[in-house]
Chain A
Amino acid sequence: MMSDIDQDPPRRQFETLIPLINVVFLLLIFFLLAGTMTPADNVAVKLPVGALSDAEREAPATVLVEADGFVWLGERVVDPKIAQGPLREYLADKGMERVAVKADAEASAESLLLLMEALREIGVKQVTIVTERGG
């Protein structure tokens, strides 16, 4: 059985490729272990930098605040001034207990507060502002 494999293989071609494969495998394992896979948000927001962390579980509902102040509820975009109705609809099946807000660092605090006021009006007592670890 072993004699089949031992039949003088042309080793030179393999030997040039093996370091490449090694590196590629290494990179593959690195990305597998080091990265976390998260579904992409509908709009890219640059999170504000924060220092504190309230180790909280992943919130089922995420609301995005874009840099220009508009609020993204899943696929819908609304103005924070009139967000109350859409928010109630959006949170109806997700629950009111834990709502995460991903606000752009450059978004005006006013739009974030308007959104939080709308959330309070529909019965959300506490929101979780997502920040980026740093400074």
Chain B
Amino acid sequence: MTEFVFYTLAAAAVLSALLCIVQKNPVPSALWLVSTMFALAGIYVLLNAQFIAAMQVLVYAGAVMVLFLFVIMLLNLGHASETDRKRGPVVLVAVLLAAGIAAALFAVRDTSVASLAARVGAPEVASSPLAALPGAGRVQSAEAFTNPIASIARPMFETYLVPFELTSVLLLAAAVGAVVLAKRKL
């Protein structure tokens, strides 16, 4: 059942992503990207990452895509332009490049999944996925499985506290930068 849901969502994600890049008009393109993000949120739930799924819907499908649609509407870009889609040999080059990257990623996946399977096969790792974390001894694995938020919050606010605080500076810089760039006259 889980696999059936996964493959349905995966097919929806790939189909929406393809439709996103071939649409002439930017508005349907953005809406197909929202559909991809919702499908990915469903896959995150299947992968036992409920917090990330909620963040995906709130931040990506909510905030970021609304920002995109807002700019499309503000600049009145809701119509197709003739020079937008490239034609000729560049199409072949793009498809070949994408296929090459996919092939390279498949090759990496095969090696990484093989080595991961060897690691997961080890009994202590299989019993606790947290064993790979630095400072994992302090976190009890039973809590990790009953409370997914706590199991993310612990590494975020213990091991990665400084990067977490630095993201606030990044967001402030981005907000100020966006205002400065978009303003006609300061």
A binds B: no
